[in-house]
Amino acid sequence: MANVKPASTGASPYDSYQTSLTTRYCSPAMSQLFSQRSRHSTWRKLWLSLAESEKELGINTITDEALEQMRAHLTVTDEDFEVARVEEKSRRHDVMAHVHAFGAVAPAAAGIIHLGATSCFVTDNTELILARDAMDLICKKVAKVIANLSAFALRWKSEPTLAYTHLQAAQLITVGKRASQWILDLMLDLHAIEQVRQELKFRGAQGTTGTQASFVSIFEGDTSKCDQLNEILCQKFGFPSCYDVSTQTYTRKVDLIIANAVAGLGSTAQKITGDIRHLMHWKEIEEPFESSQIGSSAMAYKRNPMRSERVYSLARELMSKPASFAATHSDQWAERTLDDSAIRRIDIPEMFLLADAICIGLDNISDGLVVYPAVIASRVAAEAIILTPVHKLPFMITEDIIMRLCAKGVSRQHAHEEIRVLSHQAGAVVKQEGKPNDLVERIKANEFFKPIWGELDGMLKAELYTGRSSQIVEKYCGPGGPVSKALAPYADYIKGATTATLNV
C-alpha cells in the first residue's frame, strides 16, 4: 500500500489518527519491521531476486544493467512512495503502482520487473518474511522474561506463601514456586512460537493460481526450472522450502497457525499479570513503581498496578486475533478471494505489535518485582493461622493431622469428620465473633486427638508445609534444568539486554 498523503500541506501528525501500539507501546524494531518502507523495500528485494534467478536459469532478456539498476534502488524513498501513491490512485492496484515506481528509478528493468509473477509473489512472500523476522524478535523477548522470572524464582524458592484454589487459601507453596508456574506457561509459548517459526515455509514463485503456468511458459516447457527457481528463491531468503501446494496465495491456514502460537502469549500474560494484580492488592508483591509515578489523579496515596493492567489489556486484544484469522481462512473461496487483503493489513502487524508490547511490559515488570516477606508472613499467619503467640494451628495443617492419626491406626474418615467439625467451630469464632482462631485449643481439649497432642507445637512452622516447592524450582530453573536449556540459544541476547523501559 502506498503512503497516504496528508490532508493538507504541513498538517501535524496530531491531526490524524495514530495507533497507540506504535506511539506508546511497542519497540522501534517491531514498528520498523512492519513499516511501509520495510514492506515495500522487501517487495523490491523479491523482484530483484526473481529477476536474478530467472537470468541464472537462462532468461536472456534480463540484462546486467537492469539488475544493477534494481540493486541500486532497493530501498523505497519518500519520492518513490509519492510516485506509487499517484499511480495507485489511478490504477487501483498497489502492486502495479509499485512496479511502476520501481521501473521509474530502474528504467532498464522496467520491462522485466515482476516477470511471470502474480501480486502474491511479493505480498505473500513478504508477509512470510516479516512474520519470520517478527517471531525471531518475539522469541528473544520471551526468553528474556523467562530469564528474569527464573532468577526471581530461584531467589524466592523457599519463601512460604499462601496458595489459592478457587481464590481461597489452600495449602502453602513458595513465592518462587508460583513464579515457576508462570515460567512454565512462557516456556510453552516459546516452544510453540519456535516450532511455528522453524516450520515456516515460502510461497515462492507459483503463478496466478498456483499452477506455475506462467513460469512453464517463460522456461519454454522446462518444468525442472520451475523447481530450480523456487529452490534458488528459498536459498536467497533463508527458507527451507516452499509449501507443497499453493493457490493464488499460500494457504491462510498458515496465518492461523502463527496466530495461535503468538496469541498464546496473550493468555499467559493475562495469567501472570492477573496474579500480580491480586498479589499487589494483598500487598505481598509489587510491580516496579517509580519515585515520581502517580497512581491516581485523585488519590495521591495509591500505587495502582498500571503496568500489569496495561499488559492485561493488550493481552485481551491479542487473544482475539486467532478468531479473525480463522474467519479469513475459512472464507477463502476456491483459489482465493480478495476479502483477505484489507483485514490482514491490520491483523498481521497488530498481532506482532501487540505481542511485542506485551513482552516489553512483562520484561519491565518481571525484572523489578518487589517482594514483602513480612507482609507475606503476616498473611500466612492471618489466613493460615501460623506461628502466632498462642500457637494457633493453620487449617491447612488439618490434612497433616489426619495423616498422622491414620499412621497411628485411626480411621481416615473418622479423623476427617472430627477435624472437620472442630475446624468449622473455630472458623465460626473467627468469622462471626472476630476472635482469634482457637482450633489448637479445641484439638488439645478433645481426647480423640490425644495421640498427636505432643506433636502439635512442632507442626507449626510454615516451611514444613510447602512440600517440594523449593526442590521443584531448583530442578526446573536451576543449572542444567529445562529452563536453562531452553534459554541457551538466547544467552548472548539475554546477557546484552537491559531491562525494557516503558515509553509512557
Q: What residues are annotated to the active site? A: 166, 296
How many alpha carbons lie under 13 Å from residue 275 in its C-beta half-sphere? Answer: 19
Segment (H or E) for 161: strand 160-165
Total residue count of the chain as it appears in this document: 504
Residue in 424, 392, 344, 378 with CA at minimum distance from that of residue 120: 344
Say which residues have a Cβ less than 8 Å from residue 24's Cβ, sequence separation at least 6: 503, 504
Please, are residues 153 and 176 in contact by the beta-carbon 8 Å criterion? yes
For residue 470, what are the CA distances in angstroms to 185, 323, 487?
A: 19, 40, 21
Tell me the sheet residues that pair with 102: none
* Cβ neighbours around 488 below 10 Å, total: 10
Tell me the three cell numbers of residue 258.
502463527
Residue in 279, 275, 257, 265 with CA at minimum distance from that of residue 314: 265
* Angle at alpha carbon of residue 104, lines to 101 and 110, rounded to 5°: 95
Residue in 82, 70, 71, 139 with CA at minimum distance from that of residue 107: 70
Tell me the sheet residues that pair with 173: 161
Please, are residues 133 and 480 in contact by the beta-carbon 8 Å criterion? no
Q: How far apart are CA 50 and CA 245, in angstroms?
A: 20
- The torsion of the CA quartet 33, 37, 40, 42, rounded to 10 degrees, works out to -50
Q: How far apart are CA 343 and CA 363, in angstroms?
A: 30
Q: How far apart are CA 173 and CA 228, in angstroms?
A: 59
Q: Where are the alpha helices (DSSP H) in 200-305?
A: 213-218, 223-237, 253-281
How many alpha carbons lie under 13 Å from residue 168 in its C-beta half-sphere? Answer: 3
**Which conformational region is residue 115 in: left (phi greater than 0), alpha (psi within -120 to 50 degrees), or beta?**
beta
Please, are residues 364 and 147 in contact by the beta-carbon 8 Å criterion? no
Q: How far apart are CA 31 and CA 20, in angstroms?
A: 11
